Structure 1
């Protein structure tokens, strides 16, 4: 196995794990970094699916007690049934809109320059939202109602546009719709589980012919790197949101997006889809 390819897998896996649950767009970073590393072939499409699965399994592990409690109570516990219902309602907008528009968006917007533009726009939106005085009325996921979950679900659906950030859209949407910062962040993590599992199954089905046993070492390296990096990031983010807002991530998005556009304009980097 090519050691250079394994190194690329390691780097991309780490980046996926670090960015998946931060409001800076993991898909956008993978598109840009994949172009920079010249890893944009057919294998890379399946690779990115696999490492996203590694990141979401890290969340499942971190919240295994809450998930186990929810699954165990589906048959008899009204609280857990209600929690599962909230996740289903929040998941539906992304599921429906994803089936309708996923292929079109992937064909036209999955490129570094579109991502850079979305990073910049999203960064300014985060700055605007953070400067508004939103007063939370929901301090716990268990206090949410189905209209709250539906509205956050539509916010999450905006992340179909690469560079938007699934976690950023759900967290910022949650703040706008009355969730506390911690509640919005936790619901973003929970909502990621059905959303990303469904996206993974759909993408694997669409790209089944690209799966080869010879690629297993590359996928394994990226998967493990994403799993470990995501597990560390989730814990750190929950601690961070207790005392900070997301302004630093907004400025990071803006600066990063401007750098990508500047390097393209100056001809310093030839970005490819």
Structure 2
């Protein structure tokens, strides 16, 4: 992976992580379209640069994250993240096996887009408009909805936002809680991928994520620049997403997923 490729992947991560369009799918498609050879470092890089995207949410909502007088906020996130952490650990190998199946991911992208076309009709009368009204039961329920995103192409953001709307949250409240929930979820996944997970398992080149990063100066540079780029682009994406979602709802993102998904299905079938 060269520097330009790393920057492009990081831009895609930052722009898509918090949108209901699947960052995993978009990074995988981008890498394939760039002709990048699948490697353990590439897979680890795509996960590790989520750290930059995480920081963007902490900065944008710093008052919320550093309001230590509101302990219920932290408790809700802690309970909500448990389902994803447990299932993610158990299904890690199966999830990784699907990541290379672009046909399956493209199909999920289209199906998820169809769902988004109807979400606004299904949930017309929200009762919860801010995080303080969210109960522990609701938070945990959203946490289970988030687990749907373990199928690459689904979108963690889409799953948790729709999960929130099923519990009576407004579009904006559901999106913001999805952002908040992303911080502990993605932080746990990033830490696991860098410091705990063994990449290349079962081969002669088993290695930890941090060992790959520290292999040479080039890898260190890619890791640092990738996170900086993901951070900047995620800041822009989150602000734009909230504005578009509040005004227009999910239809735009649904049509986007369908068009992109069909285009990619044609591409990968005829490749």
Residue number among 218, 230, 234 corresponding to 2:222 in the alignment: 218
**Aligned-partner SS, 1:242:** helix
CA contact (8 A) 1:31 1:111 kept: no
Residue number among 8, 18, 22 corresponding to 2:5 in the alignment: 8
Distance 1:173 1:96 in 2: 18
1:240 match: 244
Distance 1:148 1:42 in 2: 37
Deviation at 1:196, TM superposition (A): 0.3
| Counterpart check, 1:126 vs 2:119 | no
Mapping of residues 1-273 of structure 1, within 5 Å: 5-39=2-36, 40-69=38-67, 72-73=68-69, 80-204=70-194, 205-206=196-197, 207=199, 208=208, 209-211=211-213, 212-214=215-217, 215-267=219-271
- C-alpha RMSD of matched pairs (Å): 1.5
**Aligned-partner SS, 1:54:** helix
Could you list the runs of 5+ residues in structure 2 that have no partner in the other structure? 200-207
* Structure 1 length-normalised TM: 0.89
Deviation at 1:266, TM superposition (A): 2.3
Say if 1:126 and 1:59 are closer, same or farther in 2 by CA, change over 3 A: same
CA contact (8 A) 1:90 1:153 kept: yes
1:76 match: none
Residue deviations 1:106-140, cap 9 Å, x none? 11344321210110111111112222243211111
Say if 1:46 and 1:98 are closer, same or farther in 2 by CA, change over 3 A: same
Say if 1:93 and 1:134 are closer, same or farther in 2 by CA, change over 3 A: farther
Say if 1:133 and 1:171 are closer, same or farther in 2 by CA, change over 3 A: closer
**Aligned-partner SS, 1:243:** helix
Residue deviations 1:53-104, cap 9 Å, x none? 11111111111121111xx33xxxxxx1211111112111111111111211
Deviation at 1:257, TM superposition (A): 0.9
CA contact (8 A) 2:171 2:245 kept: yes
Give the ranges of 4+ consecutive aligned residues of structure 1 lying more than 6 Å apart after TM superposition: none
Could you list the runs of 5+ residues in structure 1 that have no partner in the other structure? 74-79, 268-273
Distance 1:173 1:125 in 2: 13
1:77 match: none
**Aligned-partner SS, 1:226:** helix
**Aligned-partner SS, 2:66:** helix
Distance 1:123 1:240 in 2: 16
* Structure 2 length-normalised TM: 0.90
